[in-house]
Amino acid sequence: MKNILFGMLLLLVTFSAQGQDKKNKNANYTTEVNGNCGLCKKRIEKAAFSVAGVKSAVWDMDTHQLSLILNEEKTTLLDVKKVVANIGHDTDEVKASDETYANLNGCCQYERK
């Protein structure tokens, strides 16, 4: 009887531990991305959507905030920030290269920090 109870307890602990490793399939994030205009908005959102696992990407011109819904089993917030920086837009964590930034349209060249 004790062996059966011990076995059931061990099985329960095993399943509980596996459940803790699950990642959120609809994780919400907001992060700062620098830009100025409608062209920036299109470019930033297109870049974010190019990352596998991004379900929603909306950049607000006034607040410079990129709101994301992503599947954490497929990508991370840092992955999205890297892709956005690679097209010339600084994020709060990843900066665009000077060369990529210089290739942006004149209206898209924001004041860099």
Domain-embedded: residue 2: no
Domain-embedded: residue 61: yes
pLDDT at 5 over 90: no
Distance of alpha carbon 113 from alpha carbon 107, whole angstroms:
17
pLDDT at 22: 77
pLDDT at 12: 56
Domain-embedded: residue 12: no
Domain-embedded: residue 14: no
pLDDT at 11: 56
Q: Across residues 68-85, what is the average pLDDT? A: 97
Number of domains making up the chain? 1
Of 92, 112, 30, nearest in space to 101 by CA: 112
Share of the chain above pLDDT 70, in %: 81
Domain extent, residue 48, equals: 23-108
Whole-structure pTM over 0.85, yes or no?
no
> With contact defined as beta carbons under 8 Å apart, do 44 and 93 qualify?
no
CATH code at position 50? 3.30.70.100
